[in-house]
Structure 1
């Protein structure tokens, strides 16, 4: 659940920085993922369903599910970092709770504990149909490190 400090939208400068960084991610582009929400400490990433992101039974592949969760958490942390910083994942763990089905997946990364060096995020991935209740298909936790941005 988001607290009050994480309920508004990100500033235009933070939004621009996040979108520019996300645009440089080859894997997210390859998967067809896009950011749908940027708020302080919270980022949502949507992955549309298509055959290229499924496994042999037609469900979204665990690798695609995990990848969007990892990026959602990373960018959630990034929203709280200063402009001269970048983000790297140190570790993450994901539990696949149900087959990932739906028209699209939505990953939600939420900062649980910000820090000067390490930040911890909660990760949730929902299977969504255009109409209907979202179903939690994966959840996890992630640790990220703030590093100086390379020029």
Structure 2
């Protein structure tokens, strides 16, 4: 893992903090590297489904943001990132003290970037892959963020 520059880390963190959904879920960025971002989501009743597992929507949302921001670390200043598409496979019930989504750039591009998505259920003694996917992102001219 190669840490992103301080400027890139600040740009990614500032953008992430403007995402209402991530704030609502209680997610936070735990690592910003060059082409790799980790997002953690603590377990709490508001992000679970009827059986007590993390909801697939919460799992997918942090995976999407982790991949999007991984791509964003590789984009030049004065650009923005948008998801074009993503596919996620839910591999096991998502449970643990928290989830950790990892977005990793597989192929950067001038316009489209492809990322790998992984989500782990984490306890003090285990780390289980609960979701895996792939994502396509587009680099666009910077747009105003709220």
Look up the SS of the partner of 1:122 in the other structure.
strand
Which of these residues, 121, 125, 129, is aligned with residue 127 of structure 1?
Answer: 121
| Unaligned residue ranges in structure 2 (runs of 5+) | none
1:58-112 C-alpha deviation (Å, 9 max, x unpaired): 0000000000000000000000000111000000000000000000000000000
Counterpart Cα distance in 1 of 2:81 and 2:143 = 11
Counterpart Cα distance in 1 of 2:48 and 2:76 = 37
Which of these residues, 84, 103, 106, is aligned with residue 109 of structure 1?
Answer: 103
Which of these residues, 12, 15, 22, is aligned with residue 9 of structure 2?
Answer: 15
1:8 positional shift:
1.5
Q: Which residue of 1 aligns with 2:34?
A: 40
Q: Which residue of 2 aligns with 1:143?
A: 136
- Tell me which stretches of 4 or more aligned residues in structure 1 moved more than 4 Å: none
1:132 positional shift:
1.2
In the alignment of these two chains, the number of paired residues is 144
> What is the root-mean-square deviation of aligned Cα atoms in Å?
0.6
| Unaligned residue ranges in structure 1 (runs of 5+) | 1-6
TM (normalized to structure 1)? 0.94
